[in-house]
Structure 1
Amino acid sequence: MQNTVSPPPADQQKLPERSGIAHAVALVRSVIYSVVATLFFIVMSILFAWVMLFPARRTRLLLQVWTQGDMLLLRIICGQKIAVLGLDNLPDGPALIASKHQAAWETLALVPMLPRGVVILKKELLSIPLYGWYARYYGMIPVDRGAGTAALKQLAVDAKAAVAKGFQIVIFPEGTRRPVGAPPAYKPGAVFLYDQLRVPMVPVALNSGVLWPHKQIVRYPGTITVSFLPPIPPGLPRAEIKARMEVAIERETDRLVAEALAGPR
């Protein structure tokens, strides 16, 4: 029978205190993962640099291989598994994917789930050698968070160009990672893009912050769940889409976090 008890709101959900041998083992495994994953990316980037001689649409398989490989390393070394709910809620065509953001995990994990996805990321990331080159090559959309309304206008131009090519735009509506238990802090970008793009919005909830705590290197073993929620049709007023997006993401995120904190049954 489905549990009908409402989960506690985000500001009442606290991560457990972790210490002792289990924490130490997880920390060591996390450091090993960070080293191996970095080496894996560097080797892949150098070996396959030649793909940038060709149109990116023909080489997106490389992006899938890298991100899936990174998730495999995370599972083998750190014991982090993935559960995906609601993939059938994804439209076949262009869409705006509005995801909760609790950890760096989703910036990689969402990529193989969205073969035609491009991620909106902060402009500074494009300056990182190798990573920035590939991000630009694969059409990831940079945003200058310090440029105010000018940044939103340029974001709309870039997103419309991507949608015209059939891509699905991934945005983190809060703009940055929010730890478990922090109150929601949604920025206007997602609602602005929804209004400009006139495509369905798919809210995404997750609980990555339980196993990959905010501003910590440690990754704890367990299962991270990501949930693609029913799409919201285009054309709604801004106030309505804002309310529907936030309620959908926060309610499902609260549920997923509560389940993760309760542990396996």
Structure 2
Amino acid sequence: MIVLRSTLFNALFFGWSTIYLTICLPILILPPRASSWVGKVWTRMTFAMLKSICKLDHEIIGLENLPEPPFIIASKHQSAWETMVFSILVDHPCIVMKRELNWIPLFGWFTARSGAIGINRSGGASALKQLVALSRKAVAEKRPIIIFPEGTRVEPTKKIPYQPGVAALYSQLKVPVVPVALNSGYFWRRRAFAKRPGKITMEILPVIPPGLPRKEFLPLLEERIETACARLPVPVHHDSPASVEEKRNRRKNKAAY
């Protein structure tokens, strides 16, 4: 049933997206905020299909922790879901993402026009300077900046080091950072076809105010996000990432004997 529901969702999602974004093409000549509005409608429709077809809903905890813009949202990144949710969570967000996404026909045109920051992840120091420069413009426009500190999607059972981009923004922009935890990877895994039924939980954590030394900020951010993620609900899926890892460990233990 999960495969059938996921197949139907994918077919409707790509069909709806192509038709809707094609109809909206004239909006690209309007100011960037109009393209953000296109993304908001697209996300709401996508979430409605996820709920009705895949039985995948979501809840957001801690909305009261969002300050007045400008601010930086530093979010855990486990699936494609969180790349969409911020378009309906905050007004006219500036999302930091890999530049290749801006090259996708239709979708990429609207993200680029909305003012998303496309970063060359192999660009080193020059990419970091570009990120800070473009983010200053977003702050001047009082836009929330969305960044995924890990730099890529990571399964819930795994950890990778947080990248320096978020620390550079924190130290240079002098605005609050809002840590965000979630468990989306248990339902919509990285590069996975299936969308599992259930409820994704996102928790918006209390802000980290500006002014901390850079060397203190990044460990604090990571500790807050990872601790919050660890306490979020874990669904009972026989082939969830946690279960897969557990099965691997059992096989290793048997092999040892």
TM-score (norm 2): 0.89
Shift of 1:244: 1.4
User: Which runs of no fewer than 5 residues in structure 1 stay unpaired?
Assistant: 1-24
* 1:73 aligns to 2:56 (yes or no): no
Correspondence for 2:174 among 179, 182, 198: 198
Shift of 1:260: 2.4
The amino acid across from 2:159 in the alignment is: P
* Cα deviations by residue, 1:141-196 (Å, 9 ceiling, x for unpaired): 10000110100000101111111111111000000000121024211111111111
Shift of 1:59: 5.3
Using the alignment, how far apart are the partners of 1:65 and 1:86 within structure 2?
A: 23
The amino acid across from 2:63 in the alignment is: L
Using the alignment, how far apart are the partners of 2:13 and 2:207 within structure 1?
A: 34
| 8 Å contact from structure 2 (residues 182, 229) kept in 1 | yes
Using the alignment, how far apart are the partners of 2:69 and 2:158 within structure 1?
A: 34
Aligned length: 237
* 1:140 aligns to 2:116 (yes or no): yes
| 8 Å contact from structure 1 (residues 64, 115) kept in 2 | no
| 8 Å contact from structure 1 (residues 86, 228) kept in 2 | yes
Shift of 1:261: 3.1
Residue range with higher mean Cα deviation, 91-100 or 115-124: 115-124
| CA spacing shift, 1:161–1:261, aligned 2, 3 Å | same
Note the aligned Cα RMSD (angstroms). 1.3
Correspondence for 1:188 among 164, 178, 186: 164
The amino acid across from 1:78 in the alignment is: C
| 8 Å contact from structure 1 (residues 85, 227) kept in 2 | yes
Matched with 2:234 is 260
Using the alignment, how far apart are the partners of 1:92 and 1:190 within structure 2?
A: 19
Using the alignment, how far apart are the partners of 2:86 and 2:114 within structure 1?
A: 15
Q: What are the within-5 Å matches in structure 2 for residues 19-168 of structure 1? A: 25-58=1-34, 60-168=36-144
Using the alignment, how far apart are the partners of 2:92 and 2:179 within structure 1?
A: 17
| CA spacing shift, 1:123–1:58, aligned 2, 3 Å | closer
Matched with 1:18 is none
TM-score (norm 1): 0.86
Matched with 1:217 is 193
| 8 Å contact from structure 1 (residues 141, 155) kept in 2 | yes
| 8 Å contact from structure 1 (residues 207, 253) kept in 2 | yes
| 8 Å contact from structure 2 (residues 35, 113) kept in 1 | no
The amino acid across from 1:155 in the alignment is: L
User: Which runs of no fewer than 5 residues in structure 2 stay unpaired?
Assistant: 238-257
Residue range with higher mean Cα deviation, 47-56 or 154-163: 47-56
Using the alignment, how far apart are the partners of 1:261 and 1:71 within structure 2?
A: 19
The amino acid across from 2:163 in the alignment is: K
Shift of 1:103: 0.6
Using the alignment, how far apart are the partners of 2:142 and 2:45 within structure 1?
A: 25
Shift of 1:41: 1.1
The amino acid across from 1:209 in the alignment is: G
| CA spacing shift, 1:164–1:262, aligned 2, 3 Å | same
Correspondence for 2:214 among 209, 232, 238: 238
SS of residue in 2 equivalent to 1:242: helix
Shift of 1:61: 2.7
Using the alignment, how far apart are the partners of 2:225 and 2:235 within structure 1?
A: 18
> After the TM superposition, which parts of structure 1 deviate over 6 Å for at least 4 consecutive aligned residues?
none
Using the alignment, how far apart are the partners of 2:56 and 2:34 within structure 1?
A: 31
* Cα deviations by residue, 1:101-136 (Å, 9 ceiling, x for unpaired): 001111012221112312111011111111111011
Shift of 1:77: 0.8
